[in-house]
Structure 1
Amino acid sequence: METPNIFRFARGSALNTAIIGWILDFVSYGGELKGLGIEIIKKISRNEIQKIDNIQILSMYKNISLVIEINDDYLITIDDITFAKNQSNILKKRRDIISKDTKYLDRKKLFAYVHIGNKHEYGVGCDNCYVLSRDELLEMIKPYEEKNKELLGEYVDYLNFLNEFTSKYKTEQDFCNWHRLSWEGYFNEMQDSLNEADSKWETFTSKEGDSISFEWNRKSKKYKLSTGEEIEYFVYLMIETKLPCRYKYNYNENKPYLLFKVEVSETKYKSEIRNYVWNIINDIKDKYETDELFIEKTSHAIGTHMTLGRIEEIKTKEKLEACVDIAEKIISDLDKLI
């Protein structure tokens, strides 16, 4: 029997499923990590699988990171969607592939995915899938790290690194000291506190580099034309900032904008609706503005999503939260007038 080796499972950047595949190999091989492998199987199966007589692990079978045959009656698939785009499509497609595979028609199928990142899954399209999160992996692996310091110890250090920099927003006021992960953690906390179905954050890349944005307080409105026809549009708030390189912080350009946004699908009326909404905001904002908090009108009117105005020079978490409070009051007042 071959000695378990992580490189048997490593495929490109699929580090997390490679680690899990390597650990699960010890279930049949034996040794100090066998208990950890069994614990992972029990966790994924929600304790449905209690006895493992035999286990066979396939790597990248039909492009699925791990396909695990257990005994003669179970099949588990594990994928890593931490940095995947279109998560719903990926999981649904792979689930359909394995469900229709004639080789496994008689087996009960259990599906899991690894997600060690910060992003909330906006409906990943995998009903009853088990999610192996960063915190859960840490909880399971940490008691075993001394048994394999070279690999498991370094993996635990990596997961702890992600936690440390994600949580930096809790203790650091100055955005120059935030890591890109800190923004993700901060926006997750905002999203949890708001409990809004339409709130979300996204990272994106442009010629200027990576950025992250968070949008919330989305409200559907109707604009009545002179003909009596009504055009639907949306107003919402957004925070946007440039991001430092993936493993850097102390980033002087870590200065977010708070944006007042409008979305108009009807191209013919977008300028008219944009001006209409801005004029009302312009009347409202006077009672909230200060010398240090000023809402500037913008000229950006390209595309469906248009910026009405923005607050700049936000350098600390304290000031950002003050801006958020005022912006939400303005949108609340706007909501009553349109």
Structure 2
Amino acid sequence: MKPNIFEIATKELNQDSFITWLLQYADPENKKHDVNIHNCATDFVKQLIHKQLPNFNEDIVKVKAGRQWQNIDVWAEINDKYLLVIEDKTNTSHHSNQLTRYKTLSIKWCNENGYQTPICIYLKTGNESLTSLKHIITQGFAIYNRQDLIKLLSNYSNITNDIFIDFFERLTRLENVNNQFETKVLGKWDGNDWQGYFQHLEKNMKLVNWNYVNNPNGGFWNAVLNWDYWGIYPAYLQIEEGKLCFKISTDPDEVEMPDNVTRAEIRNTFHNLIINKAKEYGILKIQRPSKFGNGKYMTVALVNKKDWLGADDMIIEKEKTLERLEGYLHFLKNII
């Protein structure tokens, strides 16, 4: 692969710079520098506005864009009438109530300057669960994702600018990597493949959420398939980059534990229930973990990767795997 500046400079600040650069090209004054980039940038501005104002049909006659206003990643003033507020993300997610704060700040600015209600965009070129994205929408932000951006840029194959080409090729590579789980042997899956698979799952079954769990052992990608209750305790299935785990929560934020019972007692009782019922139903793939934990979230039983997903030398069979997961979910819901 030829050297690509965006494969080297992968931080969000560098993506902020590209987005701002492209927005600035939408100003008619910059058409003289590169008419093709200008046309692409104009389409970009219109697409962003349409995310929240679908009936917008004005010409773009003036664009002023910049970075880091009130900690907002990218902003743009359009036609002295519209304020674009862009929260730009690669692989991280929103935090600390920042979107609500940005929305409030931008509304105040628009009111003070005679602008219409701000257009707030969450631009995401990495992956994020549907659960998280739906939460972002409730905070008044529209989603503009990697697929949207690839579709836009691919319409301008006549552009020869190196910055533009490098950014487009970087996005295209990310998209290809995200979908390679369908043709890659299971033993060689990495974090990208699990993200792609979890995106496939959430389109075909209702997931609670999926994300990256950072821990002292190096972290892993996980997906929570359900959130039901065994008595007062949350009981759920979780995929942990291979293992399908039957888990129980004793987190004080989620359950008030009785004074006369320990986590170990709860764990052992739930473990025995699952194992005994699995034997009764003839489900022989559910096993005891090699070691029990004693934390807030405890694995009480599991199914090894080869028994629900497939052997390391196999390519995933998506329909069969989905059927197995639905079967284990039905089993758990039935016994609790």
Tell me the TM-score range normalised by the shorter chain. 0.7 to 0.9
Q: 1:160 to 1:85 in 2, by over 3 A?
A: closer
Code of the aligned partner of 1:335: K
CA displacement 1:66-100 (0-9 Å, x = unmatched):
22112222111112133334447221121122222
Asked whether 1:262 is paired with 2:248, we answer yes
Corresponding residue number in structure 2 for 1:244:
none
Shift of 1:181: 1.2
Mapping 1:13-32, distance limit 5 Å: 13-28=12-27, 29-30=30-31, 31-32=34-35
Question: Secondary structure at 2:158's aligned position in 1?
Answer: helix
2:183 alignment partner in structure 1 = 171
Greater RCO, 1 or 2 (C-alpha within 8 Å, sep 6+): 2
**Counterpart in 2 of 1:45?**
49
Shift of the alpha carbon at 1:134? 0.7
SS in structure 1 opposite 2:196? helix
Contact kept? 1:17, 1:78, Cα under 8 Å: no
TM-score (norm 2): 0.79
Residues 288, 326 of structure 1: 8 Å contact kept? no
Consecutive unaligned residues of structure 1, counting only runs of 5 or more, are 1-5, 223-231, 242-255
Of 276, 279, 286, which residue of structure 1 is paired with 2:269?
A: 276
**In the aligned structure 2, how far is the partner of 1:84 from the partner of 1:90?**
13
Q: Which residue is 1:332 aligned to?
A: 330
Secondary structure in 2 aligned to 1:234?
Answer: strand
Residue from 120, 126, 137 that aligns with 1:111? 120
Distance 1:164 1:81 in 2: 19
CA spacing shift, 1:152–1:140, aligned 2, 3 Å: same
Alpha carbons of structure 1 residues 235 and 325: separation in structure 2 relative to 1, 3 Å: farther
SS at match of 1:78: strand
Q: Is the 8 A contact 1:145 1:152 kept in 2?
A: no
Q: How does 1:308-323 map to 2 (within 5 A)?
A: 308-312=300-304, 314=306, 315-316=311-312, 318=316
The answer to whether residue 68 in structure 2 is matched with residue 60 in structure 1 is: yes
Taking a change above 3 Å as real, the CA distance of residues 310 and 35 of structure 1, as seen in their structure-2 partners, is same
Displacement of 1:203: 0.8
Q: Secondary structure at the match of 2:16?
A: helix
User: What's the counterpart of residue 204 of structure 2?
Assistant: 193
Q: Which residue of 2 aligns with 1:83?
A: 91
1:48, distance to aligned residue in structure 2 (A): 1.4
Deviation at 1:128, TM superposition (A): 4.6
Name the aligned partner's letter for residue 146 of structure 2.
Answer: R
Aligned AA (2:330): S
Structure richer in strand, relative to its length = 1
Rate the CA distance shift 1:321–1:112 in 2: closer, same or farther, 3 A. same
Mapped pair 1:69 → 2:77 = yes
Q: Which one is further off, 35-44 or 303-312?
A: 303-312
Identity across matched positions, percent: 21
Distance in 2 (CA, whole Å) between partners of 1:182 and 1:220 is 30
TM-score with structure 1 setting the length:
0.79
The offset of 1:289, in angstroms, is: 4.4
Give yes or no for contact 1:298–1:309 (8 Å, CA) kept in 2: no
**Contact conserved, 2:244 with 2:303, CA < 8 A, in 1?**
yes
Aligned length: 302
Amino acid at match of 1:160: T
Coordinate RMSD, CA, aligned: 2.9
